[in-house]
């Protein structure tokens, strides 16, 4: 596991560990665009000298690869390469975890890892993470929360969430630790 943690490291990087979790097994409607996760990862490296870990299950490998291919900076691809126990241990090493509404979001919350959770079609009040070190970003539209795994319309609840909104929450969390 230590080998996985140290992959993707460049000289001078590594003071802040940022975890990105672009998957969500429930369905595509709960997924913020992988390209936006990539932008967040690049910015964390460029502005903070961060080390970026990209999380996901074996079934989410393509999503993780899309994040990494889109990034201009180095990142460690953990998608499908860890057991659940290892993923939990690696989440615990993150200084900030950016995630869709997912199982690992709840893991990060339970471990008190500073977390930015992106919510779209689900209800953050009913199923969201809890804690002082949690920030939820959402874009409420007329049909949300719809609780549907796939969006039958234009996916505005997720596409309406900008990178700047998520980055601001990350900065606020970083300033708190």
Q: Where are the domains of the chain?
A: 2-176
Segment 57-83 mean pLDDT? 95
Task: Tell me the CATH number of domain 2-176, given options 1.50.10.20, 3.30.590.10, 3.40.50.2000, 3.40.47.10.
Answer: 3.40.50.2000
DSSP codes of every residue in 42-79: HHHHHHH--EEEEE--GGGHHHHHHHHHH-SS--EE-T
pLDDT given at position 10: 41
**Separation of alpha carbons 31 and 25, rounded Å:** 9
* DSSP-derived pairing of the beta strands 76-77 and 96-100: unpaired
Residue 158 has pLDDT above 70, yes or no: no
Residue 6 has pLDDT above 60, yes or no: no
Tens digits of residue pLDDT in 16-28: 999 999 987 666 6
Helix, strand, coil tally for the chain in percent (to 5): 40, 15, 40
CB 102 within 8 A of CB 114: no
pLDDT given at position 141: 64
Residue 159 has pLDDT above 60, yes or no: yes
Higher pLDDT, 156 or 69: 69
Segment 133-142 mean pLDDT? 82
CB 42 within 8 A of CB 73: yes
Residue 11 has pLDDT above 50, yes or no: no
> Mean pLDDT score of the chain, rounded to an integer?
84
Q: Which residues pair with 97 in a beta bridge?
A: 19, 115
């Amino acid at each position: 596991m230590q080998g996985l943690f140290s992959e993707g490291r460049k000289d001078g990087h590594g003071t802040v560990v940022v975890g990105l979790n672009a998957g969500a097994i429930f369905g595509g409607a709960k997924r913020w665009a992988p390209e936006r996760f990539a932008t967040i990862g690049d910015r964390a490296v460029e502005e903070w000298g961060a080390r970026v870990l990209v999380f996901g299950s074996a079934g989410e490998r393509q999503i993780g690869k899309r994040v990494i291919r889109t990034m201009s900076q180095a990142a460690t691809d953990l998608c499908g390469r860890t057991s659940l126990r290892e993923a939990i241990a690696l989440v615990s090493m993150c200084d900030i975890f950016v995630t869709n509404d997912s199982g690992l979001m709840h893991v990060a919350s339970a471990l008190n890892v500073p977390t930015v959770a992106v919510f779209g079609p689900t209800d953050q009040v009913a199923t969201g993470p809890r804690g002082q070190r949690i920030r939820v970003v959402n874009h409420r539209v007329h049909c949300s929360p719809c609780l549907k795994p796939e969006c039958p319309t234009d996916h505005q609840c997720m596409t309406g969430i900008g990178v700047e909104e998520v980055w601001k929450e990350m900065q606020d969390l970083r300033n708190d630790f």
